[in-house]
Amino acid sequence: MIDVIHKNNLIDEIIIKNEEMAVHVLNLGCTIKNIFVKDKEGHFRDVVLGYDDVFDYMRYDGYLGACVGRVANRIRDGHFTIDGEDYHLAINNGPNSLHGGLKGFSYRLFNYTLADDQVTFSYLSPDGEEGYPGELDLQVIYRLDKTTLTIEYFAQTNKKTLVNLTNHTYFNLNGEATHIGDHLLKMKASRYALVDTDGLVTGEMKDVTDSPFDFRNTKAIGEALKAADTQIAIARGLDHPFLFDEKQDQVSLYSAESGIHLTVSTSLPQSQIYTANYLDGRMGKNYEPLNAQSAVCIETQYMTDAIHLEKDPAVILSPEDRYHEMTSYHFTIK
């Protein structure tokens, strides 16, 4: 079942729901505003951070719940070269370009169509938007099946360009913006990427063994956040790419307080795990402050700054190809 709430003449809120779940999505940035799931007592909890006022998604940074692109994460010096041609992007995060630039997909209004259990968002990004080459025809599909939300991404271009899309939802399975340290995290990832003081990957990958980054067995996120580790200190917590060892059900997150368990499965090769280290106390839903480390983002994506680090970068999309990736979020009670 789908409902549409017209907030104003610009922003619509689309509600996809069934007896077990309800997902509220905005046509602004394909933003996930709410995910209501049942806890162990059978009560609904909203397990994502966000704002009551939809205009706050335009006012603030942080990308809460948004579709991020054309390129998620950072591009070194906001510069890259394709086929000998140089391109320059806005510098909006230290010396680097972050999450698509000054007005990436997170801040764009999408067209949409509805079906019984899904909404299909579309956006035509013109050649040169935010400095990226090529016209990009983008579709983002949100589909709800029982207690599984699936996001599919499709994109085509008329000129070689970069594409690396993700969703930037801030999860807290307690249903409020409490410290995320009590959540239990498990990942099928034996390597992670190091970052510098600007949050950009250095190009060095390390084995997680005997480090705070080893989540191959379930452990509390707080164990990593409290660790005396240079990388934890640099990032103010977790804000690192983890490289997956397997092709499905790569990440799980659990709150003993609510009993809610989340399993994330993706076609993408890695995820940036970010413990909301830069939230600044701004007011969120129900007039509650959104403080640092009050959520965790599971940003499935290609390698950060792949255009500079990989020989044949996966982020390059050619006109003869079609970008197609998916990530699903499956909720259960334990």
Q: Please give the Cα distance from 90 to 238 (Å, whole number).
A: 25
pLDDT at 16 over 80: yes
| Rounded percentage of the chain residues whose pLDDT exceeds 70 | 100
Give the pLDDT mean for 181-192.
Answer: 98
Fold adopted by 2-333: Beta-galactosidase; Chain A, domain 5 (2.70.98)
| Rounded percentage of the chain residues whose pLDDT exceeds 90 | 96
Q: Please give the Cα distance from 57 to 36 (Å, whole number).
A: 19
Give the pLDDT mean for 244-248.
Answer: 97
pTM of the model: 0.97
Task: Look at residue 79 in the predicted model and tell me its pLDDT.
Answer: 97
DSSP string for residues in 240-260: EEEEESSSS--EEEE-TTT-E
Catalytic, out of 168, 179, 240, 261: 168
Task: Look at residue 181 in the predicted model and tell me its pLDDT.
Answer: 98
pLDDT at 7 over 90: no
Give the pLDDT mean for 251-259.
Answer: 98
Tell me the one-letter amino acid at 233: A
**C-alpha atoms less than 13 angstroms from C-alpha of 95 in its C-beta half-sphere:** 7
pLDDT at 2 over 90: no
Task: Look at residue 300 in the predicted model and tell me its pLDDT.
Answer: 98
Among residues 164, 137, 140, 138, the alpha carbon closest in space to that of 26 is found at 140
Tell me if residue 299 is catalytic: yes
Indicate the domain borders of the chain: 2-333
Catalytic, out of 129, 130, 299, 325: 299
Among residues 141, 111, 144, 142, the alpha carbon closest in space to that of 125 is found at 111
Over the stretch 118-144, which tens digit does the pLDDT of each residue have? 999 999 999 999 999 999 999 999 999
Task: Look at residue 4 in the predicted model and tell me its pLDDT.
Answer: 80
Task: Look at residue 140 in the predicted model and tell me its pLDDT.
Answer: 98
Among residues 136, 165, 140, the alpha carbon closest in space to that of 151 is found at 140
Task: Look at residue 116 in the predicted model and tell me its pLDDT.
Answer: 84
pLDDT at 8 over 80: no
Task: Look at residue 209 in the predicted model and tell me its pLDDT.
Answer: 97
- Ramachandran angles phi, psi of 76, nearest 5°: -60, 125
DSSP string for residues in 263-324: EEEESSSEEEEE--TT-EEEE-GGG-EEETTS-EEEEEES-TTHHHH-SS-TTEE-TT--EE
Among residues 244, 1, 240, the alpha carbon closest in space to that of 114 is found at 1
pLDDT tier at 109 (50, 70, 90 boundaries)? Answer: very high
pLDDT at 6 over 90: no
Average pLDDT, the chain: 97
Over the stretch 68-81, which tens digit does the pLDDT of each residue have? 999 999 999 999 99
Joined together, the tokens standing for residue 184 give 């239990």
pLDDT at 159 over 90: yes
Residues 50 and 63: beta-carbon distance below 8 Å: no
pLDDT tier at 1 (50, 70, 90 boundaries)? Answer: confident
Q: Please give the Cα distance from 14 to 18 (Å, whole number).
A: 13
